[in-house]
A and B are shown apart, each in its own frame.
Chain A
Amino acid sequence: MNEIAAPTIEYGQLAPMLLVFGAAILGVLVEAFAPRYMRKAIHVPLTLLALVGSFALVLVQVFVNGVPTAPSAMGAVAVDGPTLFLWAVIAVLAFVSVLLINDEDNFVAQASAVPGSIEEEDAEVAGMSQTEVYPLVLFAVGGMLLFAASNDLLIMFVALEVMSLPLYLLCGLARRRRLLSQEAAVKYFLLGAFSSAFFLFGMAFVYGYAGSVDLSAIHQALPNVGGQDTLLVVGTALLGVGLLFKIGAAPFQAWKPDVYQGAPTPITALMASGTLVAAFGAVLRVFWVALGGFEWDWRPVMWGVAILTMVVGAILAITQTDIKRMLAYSSIAHAGFLLTGVIATGGPEQNQNALSGLLFYLLAYGITTVGAFAIVTMVRDAGGEAGHLSRWAGLGKRSPMLAGIFAFFLLAFAGIPLTSGFFGKYAVFSAAVAGGVLPLVIVGVVTSAIAAFFYVRVIVLMFFSDPAADGPSVAAPTIGTATVVAVAAAATVVLGVFPEPMLDLANKAAATLFVR
């Protein structure tokens, strides 16, 4: 009888992730044992501390222990330069998102009560709140951390589910327009499950080809196994479908607008920033760590996906009338720009430029996105957030400060110089030109121009239209929301005016490349 060897696990290297999971489990215990009125008071500091701790542990890993040069936990998790950078980014984005989530007005009082029922009213009157939100968020964030770092397809699948399942639930917890929210949750769940199946199926094919689910092993198998190419090709395609669904690339983008619109806005902010970052980490891993020698086959298809994503995102955003749907399509277009960076990652030295550009872009885009959604939560009328764009007319005259910051975020999305968005786009596109994907860059620039139209349209609407008589009011921001807006605005300025230090950091993170 064979003994099962005890796995060696480098707890130190995994600590940033384990801390988040640990805090999540603690959160569940709090739900179970703490009295209802105390829960929130425990959850909020616990969650924030866990994320700060995670961030600090990443710093410790980078600056004290040094970046590991081999995969950890028996090759299942790769804690390398890009992973650590993405971990830090996810921790920051999750932290600011939690500050938004803390604003209680966004979540339903009792999720189990039927919308519009007497129970719902009772729960609201009783001042109940669904504090499970916090452990759920922590589980999702833990999943994101693992997703971006997995070096093994099975682990990656587990991470995918750990990340997604809490998000499905969280999507259905909006306080207002609950039916829309629940519809979004169900849609997200069904389509997510559907795409997970593709991922799983692809994994089976790849295993059939390589005889392993370990990314490093798949990479080694590439040149050696002959005659089984069809297995690999179909496996690559199906894995790609599962991952492209998560980043919302066309033609797998259909869920994004509906879910972004229906979900509570703080959760939308978390998904649009954190999930996107994690999913790009996974895409990079699958396509470069495992399938790095196979790019002549998958690159042309990825070209098509990237072009389609940019075009669909930019064009469909034009006719949107809801601010959150517009931002969802904008997020699709940005996913296309980011895919350009993924494709541009190529030979060794090229790898580094495109990769560091991509890392910088993810950070810049993520933080600006959270800021933009934070402002969306503040513009309200009687029915909750004033989502329809016509309600935003003349906002610049009522609250010039808020509208000014929002306009600034929109300009950053459009990639106007002196904003972080400009340097993100510049870094990715210039690396892409050097990497020989000029046509993609041309499409990227043209679609950026189209995208600028709908960003500027909102600015024009805010500043050059007369406000409606019964227009939305701007809620006085809570300290948390105000902090988020301030941090996001400051980051957008600083990364746009002095991008050097952060670009340096991204360069250093990319310099070691991925460990195999």
Chain B
Amino acid sequence: METAEIIQNTGGVIGVSWLMIALPLLGAVVLLLGGRRTNGWGHLLGVAMSVASFVVAVVAFIEILGLAEDQRRQAVPLYDFIPGLAKMGLLIDPLSICFALLITGVGSLIHIYSIGYMSHDPDRRRFFAYLNLFVAAMLLLVLADNYVGLYIGWEGVGLASYLLIGFWQHKPSAATAAKKAFIVNRVGDFGLAIGIFTIWTTFGSVAYGPVFEVAGQADQGVLTAIGLLLLLGACGKSAQLPLQSWLLDAMEGPTPVSALIHAATMVTAGVYLVVRSGAIYFHAETAQFVVTIVGVATLLAGAIIGCAKDDIKKALAGSTMSQIGYMMLAAGLGPVGYAFAIAHLITHGFFKANMFLGAGSVMHAMNDEVDMRKYGGLWPVMKVTAVTFLTGYLAIIGFPLLSGYFTKDGIIEATMHVNPVLGWLAVAGAGITGFYMSRVMFMTFFGKRRWAEDAHPHESPAVMTIPLIILSVGSVFLGAFLILSNRLTLFLAPAVGRPKDLLEFHWNSTPGLVTLALVAAGVALAWVKYGRAEVPQVAPRGSFLTTFARRDLYGDALNESLFMRPGQWLTRIAVFFDNRGVDGLVNGLAAGIGGTSGRLRRLQNGFVRSYAMSILFGAAVVVGALLYVGTM
């Protein structure tokens, strides 16, 4: 795998790229420490910091474009972080700048949208503080030039995610969901931490440059272990099987959070980790193969879950899982898939954020109702939302010439190239996507109005619709821009390696045509079931398969019986032993010491004569003892 050399930065905007992280971090600090005093203008500061960070990213991006290809990976050293272990520094290269642009760009749009969405919330300032914290942590994650920095960002986004899922902590469901996300992520983070420890003991460094340089010389077994451990971390953060269960519950958070963290950016961190560690996976084929398996399994599981959810956000969350499964699959293919993984990640960031914000706009209009069975026929009353949602919908199902069409097709083609079985499964997933996304579309905007009696839907204010419009433009055109003439592949080549042979886009390839046919069939089926037919307000019982999907493929049941109940038993046993055995011993000892103390205390009777006596007695003992020692 050939990547460009990492060179030392010599100034320019890239030299101050730490500003990207520092600005939102400053915003978070000011808003959190400033307290209520900042309530009045807190949201504006939050937006300003995010936008400023975006501006820095754009200028740095332009600077990179102006450089020769072998100059495009620049290390920006910051300070000696842990002497002897890690120097903290940033790595600005095509890969990290893509993420920085996505995070700050989509992030800024969602910040702006949140001004409107959270306008009635008394805690809006705290919300923006957490959003800024998230942006800073996520940028550290993707910009750090070593695994320790990545890990700090990784935990930082985990913290922000926890805080934001549980933002309405007065709702028990939100508090529980936040805890669940945190605990499930703990499993993944544990894997990542051990993976980083293994990297340190194997290579003697945690910085990307030195590690990747010698990655091939390490033992095959160790490399596989590292690859699998990193994958475990990626599964936790990116909600891939078997650590997917938290993402659906995470929809308890405010909708902009679902859009930014649980759709567009944070959940793609796992994909970033796998792509960034490409040099390690290059030499660990087993681990790489496992990555593709996880990706395919998740893309199908997410799609099936998405088919059965009546909660609009949960249906979208299932689709997020599924789409990240596509990215993971591509990331497991090696250099041939990396560019498609990132391209799909970027376009997905746009169209999924677009649809989530659209869903938020609908909820805003419908008194926070999330059940799609209570929607229907909304398009005449909220045209901007409906049209922008439509573009996102068309993009995700892969409607020709829209973003998803190019990026998903790229992934399918690349998979066919490597492993046709997985390729056909990905095609099947695309068909299911056509069905469940159409179901969401029809149930929400078309068909009969099934609104609650007190619902008076209206279009959202401009501060919410303008970000929707911008995102929808991205949903429409970005895919073609990135994929045609291999633009993104060539741009990323210095960072992730150039594939052996470039895949050209063909509109008439067999898998592409089959995909289109399956998607059309899925849309048609959805039209029959949810567009033309009456949608009952109460969900019918459904078949075994529906129940299976509604219960998230029994993921929670599995976790509960495999981990939670044995864990509870273990705790009970430990408590029992602690109470009877350990405490008994400790309490007995404490009682003994306490009793001694009480008895000795009586010697302290307050009479100076007894004190003098004790001194005399002590002196006699000391003299006697010294004399005794002297005779020995």
A-contact bits for B116-159, CB 8 A (1 contact / 0 none): 00000000000000000000000000000000000000000000
Residue A257 at the chain B interface, CB threshold 8 Å: yes
| A316-B608 contact given A237-B626, A304-B625, CB 8 Å threshold | no
Residue of B nearest to A188 (CB): B608
Residues of A within 8 A of B603 (CB): 254
Residue A252 at the chain B interface, CB threshold 8 Å: yes
Residues of B within 8 A of A319 (CB): 594, 597-598, 601
How many angstroms from the CA of A230 to the CA of B606 in the assembled complex? 35
Other-chain residue from B597, B606, B619, B630 in contact with A316 (beta carbon distance below 8 A): B597
Residue B543 at the chain A interface, CB threshold 8 Å: no
A363 to chain B, nearest CB (A): 27
Other-chain residue from A186, A194, A257, A304 in contact with B615 (beta carbon distance below 8 A): A194
B438 to chain A, nearest CB (A): 57
| A237-B600 contact given A186-B608, A229-B630, CB 8 Å threshold | no
Residue B623 at the chain A interface, CB threshold 8 Å: yes
Q: Are B611 and A191 in contact (CB under 8 A)?
A: yes
A-contact bits for B608-632, CB 8 A (1 contact / 0 none): 1011101101110111011101100
Q: Are A236 and B597 in contact (CB under 8 A)?
A: no
B-contact bits for A162-192, CB 8 A (1 contact / 0 none): 0000000000000000000000001100110
Residue B470 at the chain A interface, CB threshold 8 Å: no
Give the secondary structure class of A's interface: helix
Q: Are A187 and B611 in contact (CB under 8 A)?
A: yes
Residue B593 at the chain A interface, CB threshold 8 Å: yes
How many angstroms from the CA of A297 to the CA of B611 in the assembled complex? 27
Other-chain residue from A251, A312, A315, A453 in contact with B621 (beta carbon distance below 8 A): A251
Interface size on A, residues (CB 8 A): 38
Residue A195 at the chain B interface, CB threshold 8 Å: yes
Residue of A nearest to B621 (CB): A251
Q: Which of B596, B603, B619, B629 has the most CB of A within 10 A?
A: B619
Residues of B within 8 A of A301 (CB): 622, 625-626, 629
Q: Are B593 and A240 in contact (CB under 8 A)?
A: no
Residues of B within 8 A of A450 (CB): 593
Residues of A within 8 A of B606 (CB): 258
Residues of B within 8 A of A257 (CB): 604
Q: Which of B596, B612, B617, B626 has the most CB of A within 10 A?
A: B626
Residues of A within 8 A of B597 (CB): 315-319
Residue A207 at the chain B interface, CB threshold 8 Å: no
| A233-B626 contact given A190-B608, A318-B593, CB 8 Å threshold | yes
Q: Are B612 and A194 in contact (CB under 8 A)?
A: yes
Give the secondary structure class of B's interface: helix
| A297-B629 contact given A241-B622, A254-B614, A315-B597, CB 8 Å threshold | yes
Residue B590 at the chain A interface, CB threshold 8 Å: yes
Interface residues of A in 207-257 (CB under 8 A from B): 229-230, 233-234, 236-238, 240-241, 245, 250-252, 254-255, 257
How many angstroms from the CA of A233 to the CA of B610 in the assembled complex? 26
How many angstroms from the CA of A191 to the CA of B626 in the assembled complex? 23
How many angstroms from the CA of A230 to the CA of B608 in the assembled complex? 31
Residue A300 at the chain B interface, CB threshold 8 Å: yes
Residue A426 at the chain B interface, CB threshold 8 Å: no
| A254-B593 contact given A237-B619, A240-B622, CB 8 Å threshold | no
How many angstroms from the CA of A187 to the CA of B611 in the assembled complex? 9
Residues of A within 8 A of B615 (CB): 191, 194-195, 198, 241, 245, 251-252, 254
Interface residues of A in 292-314 (CB under 8 A from B): 297-298, 300-301, 304-305, 312
Q: Are B623 and A252 in contact (CB under 8 A)?
A: no
Residues of A within 8 A of B627 (CB): 230, 233-234, 237
Other-chain residue from A254, A297, A317 in contact with B630 (beta carbon distance below 8 A): A297
Q: Are B617 and A298 in contact (CB under 8 A)?
A: no
How many angstroms from the CA of A62 to the CA of B593 in the assembled complex? 47
How many angstroms from the CA of A301 to the CA of B625 in the assembled complex? 6
Q: Are B617 and A251 in contact (CB under 8 A)?
A: yes
A299 to chain B, nearest CB (A): 8
How many angstroms from the CA of A233 to the CA of B593 in the assembled complex? 35
Residue of B nearest to A255 (CB): B611
Q: Are B617 and A191 in contact (CB under 8 A)?
A: no
| A297-B626 contact given A254-B614, A318-B593, CB 8 Å threshold | yes
Residue of A nearest to B600 (CB): A316
Residues of B within 8 A of A245 (CB): 615
Q: Are A252 and B618 in contact (CB under 8 A)?
A: yes
How many angstroms from the CA of A103 to the CA of B105 in the assembled complex? 60
Q: Are A300 and B629 in contact (CB under 8 A)?
A: yes
How many angstroms from the CA of A252 to the CA of B614 in the assembled complex? 7
Interface residues of A in 372-396 (CB under 8 A from B): none
Residues of A within 8 A of B621 (CB): 251
How many angstroms from the CA of A229 to the CA of B631 in the assembled complex? 10
Residues of B within 8 A of A238 (CB): 619, 623
Residues of A within 8 A of B617 (CB): 251
Q: Are A316 and B604 in contact (CB under 8 A)?
A: yes
Q: Are B618 and A316 in contact (CB under 8 A)?
A: no
How many angstroms from the CA of A240 to the CA of B596 in the assembled complex? 28
Residue of B nearest to A186 (CB): B608
Q: Which of A186, A230, A245, A301 has the most CB of B within 10 A?
A: A301
A177 to chain B, nearest CB (A): 14
Other-chain residue from A305, A317, A318 in contact with B622 (beta carbon distance below 8 A): A305
Interface residues of A in 401-443 (CB under 8 A from B): none
How many angstroms from the CA of A300 to the CA of B624 in the assembled complex? 12
Q: Are B614 and A251 in contact (CB under 8 A)?
A: yes
B486 to chain A, nearest CB (A): 54
Residues of B within 8 A of A258 (CB): 604, 606
How many angstroms from the CA of A63 to the CA of B601 in the assembled complex? 49
Other-chain residue from B610, B612, B614, B623 in contact with A237 (beta carbon distance below 8 A): B623
B271 to chain A, nearest CB (A): 39
Residue of B nearest to A189 (CB): B608
Residue of A nearest to B595 (CB): A319
How many angstroms from the CA of A230 to the CA of B621 in the assembled complex? 15
How many angstroms from the CA of A450 to the CA of B594 in the assembled complex? 10
Q: Are A237 and B622 in contact (CB under 8 A)?
A: yes
A290 to chain B, nearest CB (A): 15
Residues of A within 8 A of B601 (CB): 316, 319
How many angstroms from the CA of A304 to the CA of B624 in the assembled complex? 13
A278 to chain B, nearest CB (A): 20
How many angstroms from the CA of A234 to the CA of B615 in the assembled complex? 16
How many angstroms from the CA of A307 to the CA of B600 in the assembled complex? 16
Residues of A within 8 A of B590 (CB): 453
B90 to chain A, nearest CB (A): 28
Q: Are A300 and B625 in contact (CB under 8 A)?
A: yes
Residues of B within 8 A of A233 (CB): 623, 626-627, 630
Residue of B nearest to A250 (CB): B618
A-B contact list, 11 entries, CB within 8 Å: A190-B608, A191-B611, A237-B619, A241-B618, A241-B619, A250-B618, A254-B614, A257-B604, A297-B629, A316-B601, A319-B597
Residue numbers of B with Cβ under 8 A of A are 590, 593-594, 596-598, 600-601, 603-604, 606, 608, 610-612, 614-615, 617-619, 621-623, 625-627, 629-630
7 shortest A-B CB distances, which residue pairs? A251-B618, A254-B611, A237-B623, A319-B597, A318-B597, A241-B619, A237-B626
Q: A258-B604, A315-B597 are in contact. List 7 more A-B contacts (CB 8 A).
A: A233-B626, A237-B625, A238-B623, A251-B617, A252-B614, A254-B611, A317-B597
